[in-house]
Chains A and B, each alone.
Chain A
């Protein structure tokens, strides 16, 4: 399918944001190119535990975020069936203190229209026999499990099918500017070692925690606070549902099944450089401790992997752990913000809301280009992830 419009959008960053945006713009008929210095989803997007949020976790403090989440949750399950383990999730109270969170959680969900059901301890244990037998109460919400990379590949596959050009291993080494307008990017191709230029009418910075670095290439300021957290993968599938701790967000309060593994997450700290992430052993130990409060068998489960990923939090430095910063996303049109035309940054956000983020950013991009096309991603089925590999890489 060839593009309806001549306008060319270059997206820097092949993660969830880049994929969602490429799909949206390609559907609207624009010419799209996506570049990433590595494989698609090799940044933060591929590394999370695989939770498709119901929004319950946010509904208590932030009704907007909760509403957004459940809406996107339902849309994704509709447009990408066969990619999610739609087994729902539990919020589990393991001590009396946790029970104080029960009413706020249920009310928060109700006010955000997140389907929620109270369960007795017995009902929860019947669903998930490996749970802590001392649990007091539980609440069931429509969480789901997803393979993060494969979901995002579906967006890229569909975008490519609709004419987008997806180029992993092509690193942006500078942005081309002319009279205060960004006209494209200088790129280094890691497949051949050659360099070249890509010209575009709008360049979108979708580089996640690296957004600040990319924006600086245009002389724009995007304050990012990369906030890593440690995740731990343990051998053994100890649950089918997502298991959340019924309390305010804290370390190690979620266990997500991923095929034959159980993923325990996570912690939070802040760094300057998203490429320099360590995996502190005390954080790994904390995952074991907190995770086994939810599922005791995890205490002795074998470690398969421990890794960290940097959340792309928007906001100035000065935060201590990163948990204070909002998870909402922001779109910056640098023409308004910095007087630089042809350059837009979209950053922040949660993986669950990738389609919604892309819709808003695509609206901004189309407005800049004077193109009047409505978003069609809400109701368009995505190709299977295997379709990403079925056309020639350089099609």
Chain B
């Protein structure tokens, strides 16, 4: 259409525009933006974060266990670090992460296969109660026992 070329801005309109995404940083991080999110979006973000935490912990755990190969003294000094109260507090955090990831995973599995869609809220709060209770129980036993 020769009329098009005389229109101002014709060339610029044809170019792809910037994609506006949620949150700062690259667009792939949009899932991290907590603004305007409901419980579902926050749970998804937390699920991804705890998943990464658990994977990181797994590798760390394997690395730590490999210390057993080095010998008794290395293992003993290592144990003195990890039985310190501050470290045990991190263990509670880890338990919380595992519980969240597991219970939320059950919720996602049920809802996502279309089994429990209308009772999703109930599943979410049940999981929250169970998880919170279990974390408190774990905290009391791990930290309180010392």
A and B bind = yes
A contact residues vs B (CB 8 Å cutoff): 2-3, 8, 31, 33, 163, 165, 167, 170, 187-189, 191-192, 194-199, 392-394
The number of chain B residues touching the other chain, given as a range, is: 10 to 19
Contact with A along B5-17 (1 / 0, CB 8 A): 0111110111000
Whether B3 pairs with A198 at a CB distance below 8 angstroms is yes
- Does any Cβ of A come within 8 Å of B1's Cβ? yes
Whether A33 pairs with B8 at a CB distance below 8 angstroms is no
Q: In the complex, what residues of A have CB within 8 A of residue B13's CB?
A: 191-192, 393-394
Q: In the complex, what residues of B have CB within 8 A of residue A197's CB?
A: 6
Complex partner residue of A192 from B1, B3, B6, B9, CB under 8 angstroms: B9
- Does any Cβ of A come within 8 Å of B118's Cβ? no
Whether A167 pairs with B7 at a CB distance below 8 angstroms is yes
A-B pair count, CB < 8 Å, reads: 48
Given contacts A165-B1, A392-B14, A394-B14, contact A170 B6 (CB under 8 A): no
Whether A31 pairs with B3 at a CB distance below 8 angstroms is yes
Q: In the complex, what residues of B have CB within 8 A of residue A188's CB?
A: 8
* Top 4 A-B residue pairs of the complex, sorted by shortest distance between their CB atoms: A196-B8, A192-B9, A394-B13, A189-B9
Q: In the complex, what residues of B have CB within 8 A of residue A189's CB?
A: 7-9
**A interface, by DSSP: helix, strand, loop or mixed?**
strand
- Does any Cβ of A come within 8 Å of B73's Cβ? no
Q: In the complex, what residues of A have CB within 8 A of residue B1's CB?
A: 2-3, 31, 163, 165
- Does any Cβ of A come within 8 Å of B4's Cβ? yes
A-B contact pairs, 13 of them (CB 8 A): A31-B1, A31-B3, A33-B3, A163-B1, A165-B3, A187-B7, A188-B8, A191-B13, A192-B8, A194-B8, A196-B7, A196-B8, A199-B6
Nearest CB in chain A: distance from B3 CB, A: 5
Q: In the complex, what residues of B have CB within 8 A of residue A165's CB?
A: 1, 3-4, 7
When chains A and B are docked, how far (Å) is the Cα of A187 from the Cα of B10?
A: 12
When chains A and B are docked, how far (Å) is the Cα of A192 from the Cα of B10?
A: 9
> Which residues of chain B from 33 to 70 have a CB within 8 Å of any chain A CB?
none
Question: Of all chain B residues, which has the CB nearest A194?
Answer: B8
Given contacts A33-B3, A191-B12, 6 further A-B contacts (CB under 8 A): A165-B1, A165-B7, A187-B7, A187-B8, A189-B7, A192-B13
